[in-house]
Amino acid sequence: MEKTIIKGTGRYLPPRLVTNDTLTQWMDTSSDWILQRTGIEQRYWVPEQGGVGSSDLGFEAAKIAMERSGWKADDIDLIIFATLSPDLFFPGSGCLLAHKLGLTSTPALDIRQQCTGFLYGMTTADAYIRSGLAKRILLVGAEVHSTGLDISTRGRDVAVIFGDGAAAVCLERMETDDKAGILAACMHADGSLAESLMTFAPASRENPRLDAKMLAEGRHFPTMDGKNIFKNAVRRLPEVAGEVLKKTGMPLEAVDLFIPHQANLRINQAFAKAMDIPESKIYNNIQRYGNTTAASIPLALDEAIEKGVVGAGSTVMFLGLGAGVTWGAVLYRFGV
Ligand SMILES: CC(C)(COP(=O)(O)OP(=O)(O)OC[C@H]1O[C@@H](n2cnc3c(N)ncnc32)[C@H](O)[C@@H]1OP(=O)(O)O)[C@@H](O)C(=O)NCCC(=O)NCCS
């Protein structure tokens, strides 16, 4: 049977460390408020002067993942680039990354699914691989949030949460009858909640798409109904975890590690409680990176592999909920 396996992973964080205390110079907040409400202690942002886009971060992460996988750029059949903060309005960051990798005709696809971008990316890659359309896919999740946040007190509920970063995963087709690789996936979207978490402008439905009034109102910054998103995450994550397990007939206990999207430590703790799983089975690193959206799950995966928390024979569940709203889960087992 042809399955999709993770051949190698890599991550890259920009060098500018922004602690909770650093944020207090721009907005009325406190380290304690941020820590207690979100679990976040620090995050990394790109240099303040700009010039670094998500494809730049993705490029650094991709080089590491490719090196660990023994891949050269020419081995890649498809690039899937998940981001909500593309370098440009268009073309997609996947095209920019392909160029940085020296590729001149390899297809590149951007996924704009925010916090579930990596999950949608994995599912799409799995479909390409199992249908025979591609053998090796470079999947990247990368975000530069910091240049698009309102770091004044007006935007503090959103700005304190987000970090910049990237992670890449090399996905490869493998012939196996073993229960390895991507085992099952469940993806969902409910657009009725789109305005609970969004960046309004630039918007094609507005003419002009962005004007001085919108800028003054801060409509180019993300806004979030945090409580509503929180409530949905706490309801949907256990639901979709159960759904993906049911698809495979595997019991909850068969999962060695849950790697949830890193939106808020309290969401992941509530998930553990709802599922009656020990918190030691949930991988969290939001404390150090904040919410890196499409990068958060592969970033956590890369760390978990490096630390030996997961490896040969481990079963992992990736899951998350974010803007859209979209939510989903992917069940994966490392080959032995
Ligand atoms: C954003 C979030 C941390 C806010 O926490 P919360 O407990 O809901 O807090 P609230 O928004 O109700 O705000 C409570 C108070 O803190 C204030 N506050 C908001 N941000 C603050 C900050 N950074 N520092 C200090 N005070 C802040 C609010 O103004 C409010 O004050 P008030 O009571 O005087 O009106 C939380 O809702 C959350 O994490 N939601 C989910 C995020 C998520 O999953 N996103 C999806 C993926 S991106």
Task: Determine whether the shortest distance from the Cβ of 232 to ligand 1 is under 6 A.
Answer: no
**Of 175, 210, 242, which residue is a domain's last?**
175
Q: pLDDT value at position 1?
A: 85
Are 111 and 233 in a shared domain?
no
Cα Rg, the chain, nearest whole Å: 19
Segment 140-182, tens digit of pLDDT: 999 999 999 999 999 999 999 999 999 999 999 999 876 899 9
The pLDDT-based confidence of 76 (bands split at 50, 70, 90) is very high
Are 219 and 314 in a shared domain?
yes
Distances (CA, A) of 75 to 95, 129, 135, 175: 16, 14, 9, 18
Segment 15-36, tens digit of pLDDT: 999 999 999 999 999 999 999 9
Distances (CA, A) of 203 to 89, 143, 148, 200, 222: 10, 20, 15, 6, 13
Best residue among 157, 232, 291, 326 to mutate for probing ligand 1, ranked by most atoms within 8 Å of CB: 157
Range of the domain at 207: 181-333
Are 169 and 187 in a shared domain?
no
Q: pLDDT value at position 324?
A: 95
Are 87 and 232 in a shared domain?
no
Are 288 and 250 in a shared domain?
yes
Segment 298-320, tens digit of pLDDT: 999 999 999 999 999 999 999 99
CA distance 16 to 309: 27
**Of 175, 191, 207, which residue is a domain's last?**
175
102: domain CATH number is 3.40.47.10
User: What global pTM score does this model have?
Assistant: 0.96
Looking from the CA of 14 toward its CB, the CA atoms found within 13 Å total: 29
**Of 175, 210, 236, which residue is a domain's last?**
175
User: For residues 321 and 327, is the Cβ–Cβ distance under 8 A?
Assistant: yes
Are 66 and 187 in a shared domain?
no
Q: Mean pLDDT across the stretch 187-211?
A: 96
How many domains, the chain?
Answer: 2
Are 114 and 246 in a shared domain?
no
CA of 157 to the centre of ligand 1 (A): 5
Are 164 and 291 in a shared domain?
no
Are 327 and 196 in a shared domain?
yes
Are 208 and 307 in a shared domain?
yes
50: pLDDT strictly greater than 90 = yes
Segment 266-308, tens digit of pLDDT: 999 999 999 999 999 999 999 999 999 999 999 999 999 999 9
